[in-house]
């Protein structure tokens, strides 16, 4: 059984992500400092809140450079996914820079509320092991005001006043803008698929 490192970056979704992993019969180890990465086979970076505060917490814990050098599969969830990119407009925050692109605020409009909150459909754009076994047209549960752009690394997008990245993968780097731990069957399948991804 692989050991999953769950980064404790102060996110409100930490407990629900841990519970979702335990339902999948996963050995979970909390990561609060760099030495906690020892013996970890893959890493999950959850997060809820503001980009600046999330990055500040990672810096204080000494986790920024270890995350940038990580060679095992990594998935960011919600804010955790946004932190994988170069920068966020939220507080003009320098992020981890593992994926190209700038996270920008969603724009409200007629019938478009910000924050984007609730169930929305995933639009698959390319094949990825993350979507293996996820039915076409599946929905996921979102809660966010900022979003990453659609790039060549985008696996699935979502539409809320425009397209944004919902699932991303570049090699062993993965991300989900939604909350898989709150997205029923499709969310559980995406988490399980991540647990089975091997480094390329």
pLDDT value at residue 199: 61
pLDDT at 65: 97
Say yes or no: domain 3-196 is CATH 3.30.70.360.
Answer: no
Active-site option among 78, 95, 158, 174: 78
pLDDT value of residue 149: 97
pTM above 0.75, yes or no: yes
Give the chain's residues under pLDDT 50: none
Lookup result for tokens 């996820």: 134
Candidates 22, 172, 181, 196; catalytic one: 181
> 78 catalytic, yes or no?
yes
Verify whether residue 95 is a known catalytic residue: no
Q: What is the pLDDT of residue 198?
A: 77
Q: Where are the domains of the chain?
A: 3-196
The phi-psi region of residue 113 (left if phi > 0; otherwise alpha if psi is between -120 and 50; otherwise beta) is beta
DSSP per residue, 75-126: EEETHHHHTTEEEETTTTEE---SEEEEEEE---BTTB-SSEEEEEE-EE-S
Residue 54, number of CB atoms within 10 A of its CB: 25
What pLDDT, on a 0 to 100 scale, did the predictor assign at position 41? 93
């Amino acid at each position: 059984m692989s050991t999953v490192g769950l980064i404790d970056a102060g996110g409100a979704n930490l407990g629900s992500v841990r519970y979702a992993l335990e339902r999948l019969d996963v050995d979970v180890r909390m990561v609060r400092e760099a030495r906690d990465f020892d013996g970890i086979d893959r890493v999950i970076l959850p997060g809820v809140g503001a980009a600046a505060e999330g990055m500040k917490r990672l810096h204080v814990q000494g986790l920024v450079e270890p995350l940038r050098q990580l060679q095992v599969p990594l998935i960011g969830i919600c804010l955790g996914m946004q932190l994988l990119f170069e920068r966020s407009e939220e507080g003009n925050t320098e992020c981890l820079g593992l994926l190209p692109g700038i996270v920008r605020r969603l724009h409200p409009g007629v019938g478009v509320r910000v924050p984007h909150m609730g169930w929305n459909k995933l639009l698959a754009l390319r094949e990825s092991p993350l979507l293996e076994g996820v039915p076409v047209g599946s929905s996921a549960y979102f809660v966010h005001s900022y979003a990453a752009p659609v790039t060549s690394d985008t696996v699935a997008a979502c539409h809320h006043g425009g397209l944004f990245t919902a699932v991303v993968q570049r090699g062993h780097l993965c991300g989900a803008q939604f909350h898989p731990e709150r997205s029923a069957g499709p969310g559980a399948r995406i988490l399980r698929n991540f647990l089975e991804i091997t480094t390329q």
